[in-house]
Amino acid sequence: MSRKPRKSAAKAPLQLGRPVTLPASPDKAKLDRVPNPHRGTGYLVRFAAPEFTSLCPITGQPDFAHLVIDYVPGDWLVESKALKLYLASFRNHGAFHEDCTVAIGKRLVREIKPTWLRIGGYWYPRGGIPIDVFWQTGKLPKNIWVPDQGVPPYRGRG
């Protein structure tokens, strides 16, 4: 059954198509959404961010990850420029790997209300240990093809 997107109250214009400064923090970042032109059709959207960065909240040292976000849209799509700005806002944000990964997934769910979402955070090692963090909203809907996230386990130089 196809549902129409809910009309929202007057909102600021989309960030798309105009200069926008990098948000100072994830909390200050705006995640724009646009109507799903194929609502009622089950399909998967994937975003890969292979150069995600944040800061260790204890040492202030940079942490690096390859994020893969898969979602089945409901009424809304996340606008990609807004997503890029949101992810970039973590560059000067101190949080543990688990917090960054899960917070991104939860924020997307809150903003776009997808039918299903999963995020894989493949963090590069610091102190010799890579950390991979995975979160999803529930069971994958029927008849949705979800390819492997394509990020091999970390093997170092060997």
Catalytic annotation, residues: 56, 63
Q: How far is CA 6 from CA 9, 75, 108, in A?
A: 10, 8, 17
Contact 79, 70 (CB under 8 A): no
User: Nearest Cα to 138, choosing from 76, 72, 44?
Assistant: 72
Longest CA span, the chain: 55
CB-based contacts of 13: which residues, under 8 Å, 6+ apart? none
DSSP state, residue 128: T
**Euclidean distance between the first and final Cα of the chain, in Å?**
51
Contact 136, 117 (CB under 8 A): yes
